[in-house]
Structure 1
Amino acid sequence: MSDNSLLEGRGQARTGKTPLLEVRRLAKHFTIEKSLFGRTTKVLKAVDDVSFHIHRGETFGLVGESGCGKSTTGRSVIRLFDITSGEICYEGIDLAGMNERQLKPYRQKMQAIFQDPYSSLNPGMNVMELISEPLEIYGGYSRSNRRDRVIELLERVGLKREHADRYPHEFSGGQRQRISIARSIASGPEFVLCDEPISALDVSVQAQVVNMLEDLQQELGLTYLFIAHDLSMVRHISNRIGVMYMGKLVEVSFSEELYTHPAHPYTEALLAAIPIPDPKVLMPTDRLLQGELPSPIDAAIGCKFRSRCPYASRRCGEEEPVLKRIAPGHYAACHLHE
């Protein structure tokens, strides 16, 4: 894939400015087997040659099946993982090769909200201590001011000041996620990784949390990378969406364009799997995924989706499609569009 295929026309996209975040040819490989002499013999390519950009104030959605590399991509972008290769440019500065000391100012600008709020919150700390921790690390607040700031953050995410002295186990799942969100915005970040922040919540709570994230984005000028399984929710919150399959982006488009004119067979199958809220309407089973999921370890030749694709041709088994522009702002990696 061309280095700049997804950065084409970037100055005209939303703000007329350079993107806040540019990811170029990102790869993250995990060694899963070594020989007796320490030589790597098997590698899992969790993320393989992924490029995209996110403009300031935008929400970029990332969707796909479990194990496709969404979360690994997100965690690599904020440097929770050391990447194998590629560039992660934040306001034009490449973070890929930085050490922890060099990354510290960017840790304040780039925060994360994770799927399971209970595992991301220290059960031995109360809410005041949990939300105060980023304020202590990055400074700027006295002890008395920190309490006022924590109360302000709690009220901003729909909690009360009396919750500050309670512990994580005393809250429901939705309340714990609100605490995680308050903690993530405490340091005043610009970019927030939302790594499946609603998938562990009740459906009735999911909409509340998503609406709150949208309100915070407007109030604080936040930029989101939003990872989720629920395609209907991703459509609601995202400006643009990237579809991942087996460690690669197979389609990128503006949200409404992706849902009304999906270009990749995998995207079509994902959209067909969305439940229809009418028991009298049958789901289109002919578009649901068939076939076996290929091994992520084997170095397969050609398109990785061909074993499950109803349109697969001989060419698909010989040549891997690359992500190409098929319409303004719309990219797909499929031989059907060449």
Structure 2
Amino acid sequence: TPNPSARGERRWRNVAPGAVQLSYALGNERAYVWARSAAGTRVAVLSLDPAAIERELADLAGLDAQQAPGKIEQTIARISVVLLPPTLLPEDSTSVEVVAEGRIASVPFAGLRSPRNPALRLIETHAVTMITSLFAADEAGSKPVRPFRLVALASGSGKLRSATPTLDPGPRLQAATSEIKAVARLFAARDSAARIKLFAGNEGSAEELRNAWSSGADVVHFATHALADLRQPLASLLVLPAETAAGKPTYLTAGQVQDWRGDADLVFLSACESAIGPPRFAGGMPGLQSAFLRAGARGVIATLWPIEDVLARQFSVDFYERYTGGKSAVQSLVETQRAWLESSAGVSEADHARRRITALAHGFYMQ
């Protein structure tokens, strides 16, 4: 592979031991995947033509994970053998980094069948991270001392964390409020001196959030509704607790966020479809997560489809039990997803399917 840095151009991102970086491309007649590892770079031709892959990914994006989990599983099984050919990943690989562009960004790679062992999902054999490019991002610099250990916000109504009220009439997101309180207790239990800020009511405005972001927070957690705008990605939004003088809800858009400047180790968007964007195949990383990465987040956890309020709370708390225990965000997410994929005694198949869909909705994104 040529070395761009030798010519003063952008340099390739580092490949960690055991890591494989994947980048997909659709040509006029064929589709390809580039796989970079410590052993070098190889290119594989995918088994379906570009038009067929576009149809499969469009079908997947159009499915309702809550109403039709079985169809999601069937589509995932078909896509797995196309996007992850049997010999694509080296035997000694332990993690996969996927360039998340357009349609590819909508694929739940954690849930794909592992080419090493099709009986297992990829997340059961590899850690999975979604990245913006095969090129190295700008250096983030040393970790600053931030005034806040945790900034968290809860808002919204309904049983699903979707900002479409006509589809989800119901009570307020009671689990969202208890979620941020439970998360705060986990951080406080690890460090009684940790400075924690929970936003509620009119205090939870876009301006107050921006001030907290500019000051600096190790972790910023949103337990609220999200709405993805597939035509105008910068209009994708999160619902805030603050209301207007007329009692109407207020919002935080991706366009507002990407103009922020700050530094956070992790942003967790515990909201419906916070990672989706326009279906263009090569349009860059879509979704609200991209805006937070541009604003200075070092990593973002976001979701690919609607998630239930109560299950979202349980999943978040399980994640933070690991994270506050000293594990990285990636490892904490991997372990939580693996735990939620396992069958448990006394749990019905229907409930297990709901837990599985919740786990696979989440992904970790970084520059």
- TM-score norm. by structure 2 comes to 0.26
Instruction: Please say which structure displays the higher CA radius of gyration.
Output: 1
Q: Of the two structures, which has the highest relative contact order with CA contacts closer than 8 Å and spacing of 6 or more?
A: 1
